[in-house]
């Protein structure tokens, strides 16, 4: 009897649109389906991988790699093979692309895979309702991503009015004609929408036809201009800066740093340790554009108390950012009083 093929779904969307949140929702509401996950962080600190670990049946993390720019498909194939082995008993595989990946390339790689245990299961494009206009202005290529999506999740609808949401839905209907658009907040979509959906054959065919010819073209182009092949990709214009500290951060100095973050610094994620008495928990931090939130949770018993941040932006000065954070180190957190945490707590949930 032929083995059932495992659908592989690509979860894409610009930086901070809510992919990890949606993935965690799927993992928590999978209704018994076993989900294998491939996470592709932009930056070598695996914040996304850490955020989904613990909930997932089987996961591979690509860490600091640009999945969409892999020269051949063998690397991804290796990961898919691991997840698709019968012993893992996985029902569906979700690839969470980094917020700067080119989804078309990923789809192409899955379609080109020799692995007979898997089948391409569609592209889900997550859109940040609150940032959509700004993101699209800076990155017109998002229109193209929407055009090849099988399902569009209009996320963060809690951050827009009903009228704004309706306008966005009309814009999306124009950019992705015939593609279902599901409005959500905090990625709460019905998992059935993803797992049982069949990708649209016509679009699939178009991507499939592109593949070999296009790849050959790309190779020629790269050879011609001597570049590494990332130009034209969304992430070519972005860089990521990482910061790790075993010393606690001074809450007031850190909030000042955040208040003065440069405009090009579009995304910050990670977690912070302040070590101030009464506030020694882990503060997960997310900033997208002007928006900033922290979420407080206990550390796992064996978890090292530290701060790990990834900052992603264009035209940012990495060494200035790092210096700014270095200046936030606080060797005497036990001396900091409750007041010093006020600025942090204003942005904290939980």
Residue nearest to ligand GTP (CB): 99
The answer to whether 329 and 250 have CB atoms below 8 angstroms apart is yes
In the three-class reduction of DSSP (H, G, I as helix; E, B as strand; rest coil), residue 30 is classed as: coil
Between 30 and 185, name the residue whose CB sits nearer to ligand GTP.
185
Q: Which C-beta is closer to ligand GTP: that of 16 or that of 122?
A: 16
Shortest Cβ 298–ligand GTP spacing (Å) = 18
| Shorter beta-carbon distance to ligand GTP: residue 38 or 204 | 38
Is the Cβ of residue 77 or residue 128 nearer to ligand GTP in the bound state?
128
Burial string for 135-164 (b: 16+ CB within 10 Å, else e) reads bbeebeebeebbebbbbbbbbbbeebeeee
Q: What would you report as the CA-atom Rg of the chain, rounded to the nearest whole angstrom?
A: 21
CB nearer ligand GTP, residue 99 or residue 333: 99
- Name the site residues for ligand GTP (rule: CB under 6 A): 13, 15-21, 48, 99, 155-156, 158-159, 185-187, 267, 269, 286, 288, 293
Closest approach, Cβ 289 to ligand GTP, in A, equals 10
What CA–CA distance (Å, rounded) separates 119 from 26?
Answer: 19
Q: How far is the CB of 287 from ligand GTP (least distance, A)?
A: 8
> Exposed/middle/buried for 319, CB within 10 Å: 0-12, 13-18, 19+?
exposed
- Token output for 90: 């996985």
Query: Which stretches does DSSP call E strand in the chain?
Result: 6-13, 35-39, 58-61, 92-96, 118-128, 151-155, 181-183, 239-245, 265-273, 282-288, 291-297, 307-313, 348-349
Output the smallest distance, CB 202 to ligand GTP, in A: 28
Nearest distance in Å: CB 253, ligand GTP:
22
Smallest gap, in angstroms, from Cβ of residue 48 to ligand GTP?
5
- Nearer of residues 45 and 84 to ligand GTP, judged by Cβ: 45
CA 41, CA 101: separation in Å to the nearest integer?
Answer: 10
């Amino acid at each position: 009897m032929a083995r059932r093929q495992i659908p592989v779904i690509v979860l894409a969307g610009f930086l901070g649109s809510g992919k990890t949140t949606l993935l965690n929702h799927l993992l928590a509401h999978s209704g018994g389906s076993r989900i294998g996950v491939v996470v592709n962080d932009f930056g070598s600190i695996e914040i996304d991988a850490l955020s989904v670990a613990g909930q997932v049946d089987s996961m591979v993390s690509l860490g600091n790699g640009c999945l969409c720019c892999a020269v051949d498909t063998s690397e991804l194939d290796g990961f898919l093979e691991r997840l698709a082995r019968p012993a893992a008993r996985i029902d569906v595989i979700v690839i969470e692309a980094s917020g700067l990946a080119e989804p078309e390339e990923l789809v192409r790689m899955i379609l080109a895979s020799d692995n007979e245990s898997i089948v391409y299961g569609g592209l889900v494009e997550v859109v940040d309702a609150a940032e959509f206009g700004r993101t699209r202005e800076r990155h017109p290529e998002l229109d193209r991503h929407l055009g090849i999506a099988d399902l569009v999740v209009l996320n963060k609808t809690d951050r827009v009015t009903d009228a704004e949401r309706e306008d966005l839905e009309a814009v999306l209907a124009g950019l992705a004609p015939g593609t279902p658009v599901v409005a959500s907040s905090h990625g709460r979509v019905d998992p059935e929408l993803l797992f049982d959906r069949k990708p649209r054959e016509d679009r699939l065919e178009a991507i499939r036809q592109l593949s070999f010819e296009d790849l050959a073209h790309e190779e020629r182009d790269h050879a011609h201009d001597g570049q590494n092949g990332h130009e034209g990709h969304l992430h070519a214009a972005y860089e990521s800066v990482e910061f790790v500290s075993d010393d606690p951060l001074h809450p007031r100095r850190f909030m000042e740093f955040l208040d003065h973050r440069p405009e090009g610094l579009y995304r910050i994620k990670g977690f912070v340790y302040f070590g101030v008495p009464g506030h020694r928990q882990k503060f997960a931090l997310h900033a997208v554009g002007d928006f900033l939130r922290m979420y407080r949770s206990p550390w796992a018993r064996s978890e090292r108390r530290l701060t790990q941040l990834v900052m992603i932006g264009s035209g940012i000065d990495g060494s200035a950012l790092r210096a700014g954070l270095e200046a936030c180190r606080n060797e005497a957190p036990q001396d900091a009083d409750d007041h010093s945490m006020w600025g942090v707590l204003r942005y904290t949930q939980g």
